[in-house]
Every structure is written in structure tokens, then in C-alpha cells.
């Protein structure tokens, strides 16, 4: 007996092939949603972070001027990656200056010379096909989609006022070969004199005395009785106010438990990394190098002794804020050499006393400042006290 295999008619085979093609297209679409969509969402997050950072940096730069704000914003954007490439913002098209109204939460655009009165910066970061920077897709090409445009908008606002820089309320005395310069920690957290800027501020109600070859790359601000030694080589100007420079508002002493349960009478006895958090000390002695693994705020109701390096998390001064409370306090060690400090210090009742080769990055307010030779003070323009941008906040 001869058996015959049943063969599907050509029409049915054609329909099956068509269904297979449709299912393949649908499958590619689903894969695209899983792979390409994930890539796009990650890129959006990265672009938003870059826009936020650029807006903060740009509004901090407004303290110096619109040009500086544009330069800083573009530099910080480029320091961030989106989909594996540095973020590029057009300084003409992507950076806008305006005024931010907290009550109505609105941004009013300013143009031309009016930009100098801006209190906010709006950054539009774009990865779009029109600039040949759109996010490339892989599986979506099957359904005719080669790229995806993404955009991110951020607005940062600053409150402006006279800046602190490095201030010795009742006097500053330095010896030889000292420099007061500026930098922006959000752009370059590891400055040198070669990379430093000329936006530093040095302030006092008393006499600013110098030795030989001392430099201020920036400006001086003094109270009505203040004066500046003519030997100080100043690149900017001197502002003499009709009222005294006043100390910042200080917090109260409301001590709590320290992270890790460390004592309020604390000495760093070996190279140490402390966790971020809030600390309360009645005596603080940095006898060996001290770093932090996260942002920290330190309240000291007593003296601070520094014989070794103290470095904020990420080498960013604003990640380590030190409030030294009370009067007739001391900060430092007049016999200590080659000490590096990265922090913002508010100690209006303390005398900063250091020996040779001090490097201090951040901003600080002391009662007096006294150092000897070869000190380098780097005023951080990104700090809330650094220039005249007192407070910076992301509002959108």
C-alpha cells in the first residue's frame, strides 16, 4: 500500500510565512522596548544630572559675570557623560539667564545687558538628531526608528550678597610667598596655582599685614577701620564698607550622639576615614590624616588642633562644614608645617594659626588669620559662602 504525505496548499504556506514575518516584527518591537527603551531612560537620567550640575555651576559663576557663568556651566556639563559621551551644551542656545519668582515659581527671561541682574540660570541639555547627537537605537531600526531625541531642563537660583572668601574679622598677618587665589571645586577639585583663577576674596575689619612676595588674585573687602598693606599684590580692587564686616549667624550647641559612638573629646591617633554625618566635639585634635566617606557637618565647642591633613569627602570643601562655637578659641597649630585642609570653616571667635606650607581649600571666617611662609589659600567659588552667591538651590 502506498501512502501519500499531505502537503499544505501554497496559499496556506504563504499565510503562515506572512504571520511569521509579522510576529518577527512584533518581537523586534518588544525587544526594542526592553533594550532600546532602557538605554534611552538611562541616558535621560544622565542628561538630567548633567543639566542640574551645569545650572548650579552657572548660577555660581554669575557672581563674577555672565561670561563666567556660561564658561562654568559648559565645563561642568562636559564633565558629565550621557550615553558614554560628554554632554555638550551650546553657550548661545542652551544657557539662559533670568529672574526666578519663588511665589509663582516662574522664570522670567532676561536678555542683553539686563542679564547682569539675573538671579537664576536655565540650562537646556539636548541629545537630538538636529545636532547629530540623538541616542542611537538598535532593534527599533526594524520598525523604522533609528534614533531617539532626549532633552533635560534645569533651573538654579542664587541669593547674592557680599562674599566671605577668607576673612579674618579682626586682622590678617602672613609672612612671605603666600597666595590667595580662587577655583571652582565642581569643575576642578584639585587646583594648583597654574590652574587657579582671580576671583578670590580677602576680608577684614582690621589690618591686613603681609611680608614679601604675597599675592591676592582677586579683591579685598574691609570694614571702615580696615587697611591693606601696600605690599600685598592685588589683581582686583579694594572695597571699604561704611559698616563693619559681621560674623555669620552661628548655630546653637545641641549635641547628639556621634556616628560610630566616638567621643566628644576626640583625637585622630592614626590615619582615619570617618563616615558622613553630624559630629559634636568639645575638643577636636587632628594628629593624623583625616578623611570622610560622605558629607559631614562638625560642631566644635572648644579648640581645634590641626597637625595633619583634613580632607572633605570627594575633595569638595562644602562636603565638610565646621562650625567652631564660642570665643577665644584656637584653630590649627602655629608649629605645624605642610598641612592641607579641604573644608568650609565658620569660626568667628577663633584664631587660625599655622606655620609654613599651609594649603587651605574652601572658604573660612575666623577672628584672626596668622600664617608664616608659602601658604596657598584657594577660595572655592562653588561654595555657598565662596563669592557673592550666598545660597544656591535647584528650583526646577
Whether residue 145 is found in the same domain as residue 244: no
pLDDT at 252: 92
- Greater confidence, 365 or 2? 365
* Model confidence pLDDT, tens digit, residues 151-204: 999 999 987 655 679 999 999 999 999 999 999 888 899 999 999 999 899 999
Whether residue 182 is found in the same domain as residue 310: yes
* Model confidence pLDDT, tens digit, residues 265-321: 999 999 999 999 999 999 999 999 999 999 999 999 999 999 999 999 999 998 999
User: What is the residue range of 354's domain?
Assistant: 166-389
Whether residue 149 is found in the same domain as residue 195: no
C-alpha cell at position 248: 555669620
pLDDT band at 386 (very low <50, low <70, confident <90, very high): very low
Whether residue 217 is found in the same domain as residue 332: yes
The total number of residues shown for the chain amounts to 396
Residue 347 inside a domain? The answer is: yes
Q: Give phi and psi for 56, each to the nearest 5.
A: -60, -45
142, 160, 178 — which closes off a domain? 160
Please check whether residue 312 is in contact with residue 189, taking contact to mean a CB–CB distance below 8 angstroms.
no
pLDDT band at 395 (very low <50, low <70, confident <90, very high): confident
Please check whether residue 228 is in contact with residue 222, taking contact to mean a CB–CB distance below 8 angstroms.
yes
Give the global pTM. Answer: 0.61
* DSSP-derived secondary structure for 184-228: -TTT-SS--TTT-BS-EEEEESSEEE--SS-EESEEEEE-TT-EE
- CA nearest neighbour of 181 among 396, 378, 338, 384: 378
pLDDT at 236: 87
Element (H, E) at 13: helix 10-61
Whether residue 211 is found in the same domain as residue 170: yes
160, 175, 199 — which closes off a domain? 160
First to last CA, the chain: 84
Residues 33 and 282: their CA atoms lie apart, in Å, by: 58
Amino acid at each position: 500500500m502506498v501512502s501519500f504525505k499531505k502537503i499544505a496548499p501554497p496559499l496556506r504556506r504563504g499565510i503562515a510565512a506572512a504571520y511569521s514575518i509579522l510576529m518577527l516584527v512584533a518581537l523586534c518591537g518588544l525587544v526594542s522596548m526592553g533594550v532600546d527603551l532602557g538605554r534611552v531612560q538611562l541616558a535621560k537620567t544622565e542628561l538630567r544630572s548633567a543639566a542640574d550640575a551645569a545650572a548650579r555651576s552657572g548660577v555660581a559663576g554669575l557672581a563674577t559675570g555672565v561670561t563666567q557663568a556660561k564658561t562654568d556651566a559648559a565645563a561642568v556639563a562636559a564633565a558629565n557623560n550621557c550615553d558614554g559621551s560628554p554632554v555638550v551644551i551650546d553657550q548661545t542656545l542652551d544657557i539662559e539667564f533670568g529672574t526666578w519668582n519663588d511665589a509663582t515659581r516662574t522664570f522670567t527671561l532676561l536678555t542683553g545687558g539686563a542679564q547682569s541682574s539675573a538671579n537664576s540660570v536655565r540650562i537646556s541639555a539636548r541629545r537630538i538628531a538636529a545636532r547629530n547627537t540623538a541616542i542611537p537605537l538598535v532593534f527599533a531600526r526594524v520598525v523604522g526608528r533609528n534614533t531617539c531625541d532626549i532633552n533635560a531642563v534645569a533651573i538654579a537660583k542664587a541669593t547674592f550678597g557680599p562674599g566671605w572668601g577668607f576673612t579674618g574679622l579682626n586682622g590678617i598677618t602672613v609672612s612671605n610667598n603666600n597666595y590667595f587665589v580662587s577655583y571652582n571645586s565642581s569643575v576642578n577639585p584639585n587646583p594648583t596655582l597654574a590652574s587657579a583663577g582671580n576671583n578670590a576674596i580677602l576680608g577684614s575689619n582690621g589690618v591686613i599685614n603681609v611680608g614679601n612676595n604675597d599675592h591676592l588674585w582677586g579683591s579685598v573687602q574691609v570694614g571702615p577701620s580696615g587697611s591693606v598693606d601696600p605690599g600685598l599684590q592685588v589683581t582686583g580692587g579694594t572695597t571699604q564698607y561704611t559698616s563693619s564686616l559681621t560674623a555669620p549667624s552661628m548655630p546653637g550647641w545641641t549635641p547628639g550622639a556621634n556616628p560610630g559612638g566616638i567621643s566628644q573629646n576626640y583625637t585622630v591617633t592614626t590615619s582615619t576615614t570617618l563616615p558622613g554625618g553630624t559630629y559634636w566635639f568639645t575638643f577636636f585634635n587632628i594628629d593624623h590624616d583625616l578623611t570622610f566617606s560622605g558629607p559631614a557637618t562638625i560642631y566644635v565647642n572648644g579648640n581645634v588642633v590641626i597637625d595633619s591633613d583634613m580632607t572633605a569627602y570627594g575633595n569638595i570643601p562644602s562636603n565638610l562644614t565646621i562650625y567652631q562655637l564660642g570665643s577665644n578659641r584656637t584653630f590649627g597649630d602655629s608649629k605645624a608645617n605642610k598641612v592641607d585642609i579641604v573644608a568650609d570653616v565658620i569660626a568667628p571667635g577663633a584664631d587660625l594659626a599655622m606655620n609654613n606650607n599651609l594649603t587651605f581649600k574652601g572658604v573660612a571666617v575666623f577672628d584672626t588669620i596668622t600664617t608664616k611662609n608659602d601658604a596657598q589659600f584657594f577660595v572655592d567659588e562653588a561654595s555657598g559662602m565662596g563669592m557673592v552667591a550666598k545660597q544656591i538651590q535647584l528650583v526646577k
